[in-house]
Structure 1
Amino acid sequence: MEDPTEQSLWGPVHELLARMDGEIGRIYTDREIKGLKPTYVRELLQLHLKGPMTITELAEATGRTHSALSQKVSAMRTAGLVRTVPGADARSKHVTLTAKSKKLVELLAAEWRATEAALAELEAELPYPMTQVVRDVEKALAKKSFHDRIVEKLGKQQ
């Protein structure tokens, strides 16, 4: 069998996003902030703006699945950015900011705004804006889901 991963349309997209996240991460490294990842910022800002939330509430606020948010909260807790306290019943936990992350929220909000401004600047330099690509992909997927496209291709291979 030849290696199917040698060809990838996804690869450059993932690599670009990883590189851009890495550039954002350098902002934190430059400021000697330990444990903070760009993927935590939305959740930390939501907790700052809306106060303690259950994992379910935080997942809904950020458009993530409960499972993904549970894993992310665990990682953020390990990094000392959030803590969890028992909720109203034994099944729920409230996620709150730590003193460490409370000190960071103004920087995180400024970094978010600066990142959005940098993206707008980047888009202005492109012949076809990234946001238009996303809208066009979403429109095509509304006609036929990615799942259905993959299943169709699998059917042709068997």
Structure 2
Amino acid sequence: MADPHEIDPSHQSLWRPLRLLQASMDADIARIYAAERIDGLKPSYVMELLRLHARGPMTITELAESVNRTHSALSQKVAAMREAGWVETVAGDDARSKKVTLTDQARAVIGRLAAEWRATEAALADLEAELPYPLSRVVTDIEQALERRSFHDRIAEKLAQDPGWG
């Protein structure tokens, strides 16, 4: 019988533990919101909500640039946040543009979201202090390695050596 790892290479993953760790930590943040009855709020919305609070209404393009995301990704997120009642779109500076703004629901909890952000960052700093090699350092080191040679180029090289690709 064939090795299951050869049939389904997804059994091996260097990234999955990191994704699961982040999902677990996000779930803990979501538990904080649930305990405080802040319903329908995902941890992934908070940066955009805080940014809108700090800078005021923005177009999707402006918001995307401010959080370093693509227009497409932010457009989808804004749609989900609008459906959940956290943001709304209003007329922009001209008849063709729209701006994203906080709803009353978001404004009512924005101070608490800022407090949660600060507490989360402080908890992460405490956690990193316990580690021999902090995750923020790992990220910086990976970014520097990818500046030397892109992830795309690294994958393309491996694919060129894999008979299953060609």
Matched, 1:102 2:133: no
The equivalent residue for 1:51 is 56
* Cα distance in 2, alignment partners of residues 48 and 154 from structure 1: 45
Shift of 1:100: 0.2
Give, in angstroms, the shift of residue 91 of structure 1: 4.5
Say yes or no: does 1:142 pair with 2:147: yes
1:19-73 CA-to-partner distances (Å, cap 9, x unmatched) read 0111111111101111101000010001101100000000011111100000000
TM-score if structure 1 supplies the norm length? Answer: 0.96
TM-score, normalised with respect to structure 2: 0.92
Identity score, percent:
64
SS of 2:10 mapped into structure 1: helix
Match of residue 3 from structure 2 = none
Separation of aligned partners in 2, 1:91 and 1:11: 42
1:151 pairs with one of 146, 151, 156: 156
In the alignment, what sits opposite 1:117? Answer: 122
User: Which of 18, 26, 35 in structure 2 is aligned with 1:30?
Assistant: 35
Once the 2 structures are TM-superposed, how far is the Cα of residue 17 of structure 1 from its aligned partner?
0.5
Deviations 1:51-98 (A, max 9, x none): 000000000111111000000000000000000123234543200100
- Which of 3, 11, 19 is matched with 2:16 structurally? 11
Report runs of 4+ in structure 1 exceeding 2 Å deviation: 86-92
| SS in structure 2 at match of 1:53 | coil
Structure 2 residue 137 is the aligned partner of structure 1 residue 132: yes
Matched residue type, 2:119: A
**1:88 equivalent in structure 2:** 93
Query: Aligned equivalents of 2:94 and 2:56: distance in 1?
Result: 19
Which structure is richer in relative contact order (CA contacts within 8 A, separation 6 or more)? Answer: 1
Q: Which amino acid aligns with 2:23?
A: A
Computing the radius of gyration from Cα coordinates, the structure with the larger value is: 2
Pairwise CA distance, 1:4: 1.1
SS at match of 2:7: coil
Residues paired across the two proteins, number: 158
